[in-house]
Homo-oligomer: A and B are copies of this chain.
Amino acid sequence: MKSVIPVTTLEIKTACSQCNLRELCLPFGLDPNEVDQLDELVGSRRKIKRQQHLYRSGDTFEAIYAIRAGSFKTDVILEDGRDQVTGFQMTGEVLGLDGISTEHHSCNAIALEDSEVCVIPFGRLEELSRQVESLQHQFHKIMSREIVRDHGVMMLLGSMRAEERLAAFLLNMSQRFTARGFSPSEFHLRMTRDEIGSYLGLKLETVSRAFSRFQEEGLVAVQQKHIRILDTPGLKRLLNHHAV
């Protein structure tokens, strides 16, 4: 027997239970019944066009966002105009956690391509995670993962040389594409050299030169934003074989 569901509902409602990203996202570790409860609180989806803001620094914090399609960057801007990209986010990753601390967002989230997010009203998430232990724990893990990730970036910015930073970046991207079922060795970067540079604490020329160098050495094949990793162990060696 089939249950009859109006088409409109299917279109309007977000359904974590149907989402192929649930293993990466908030529903991870929840049983089907709990996922249904989560489904109910995920109010709506929101489409964000390329280059548009999902939220801005200073905006009142109301919800966190799970990326359903597309990708984003987050950045912080100083009064004098300097900016720093603090991260690139892919599908299944959560945006907006910075806003909890002061009830206002402290960075900008900008779509790198036409994207779609699930809006998760934060008050309701806290409410449900008081009832659903596995949801509470998964949410805590996601926040903690963000902290660990940031420590990795600090290591990168604080103690690595340009080529090491780029190698670490490429290996990280590769790993995240893999986790999403894409090729580990061939992918399309959504961000510019300037944005990569900002993230890695380098100028865009330095990023470009490092790419060229990797290409010369047969580590990767670079064609603009299209990357093919030819020698993963070689990239990894670059990271650890640092002459002390």
Using CB atoms and an 8 Å cutoff, list the residues of chain A in contact with chain B. 74, 76, 78-86, 97-102, 106-107, 126, 129-131, 133, 136-137, 140-148, 150-155, 157-160, 198-201, 239-242, 244
Residues on B with C-beta less than 8 A from A244 are 80-82
Query: Within the assembled complex, what's the spacing in Å between the Cα atoms of A138 and B166?
Result: 37
Is B150 a contact partner of A198 (Cβ separation < 8 A)?
no
Q: How many copies does the complex hold?
A: 2
Q: Which residue of B lies closest to A125 (CB)?
A: B140
Query: Within the assembled complex, what's the spacing in Å between the Cα atoms of A242 and B142?
Result: 36
Contact of A126 among B126, B137, B159 (CB under 8 A): B137
Query: Within the assembled complex, what's the spacing in Å between the Cα atoms of A86 and B158?
Result: 9
Grouping DSSP codes into helix (H, G, I), strand (E, B) and loop, the A interface class, with mixed when no group exceeds half, is: helix
Residues on B with C-beta less than 8 A from A137 are 126
Shortest beta-carbon distance, A225 to chain B, in Å? 21
Is A101 a contact partner of B240 (Cβ separation < 8 A)?
no
Residues on B with C-beta less than 8 A from A239 are 78
Is A78 a contact partner of B144 (Cβ separation < 8 A)?
no
Residues on B with C-beta less than 8 A from A140 are 100, 126, 143
Residues on B with C-beta less than 8 A from A155 are 76, 78, 82, 84, 86
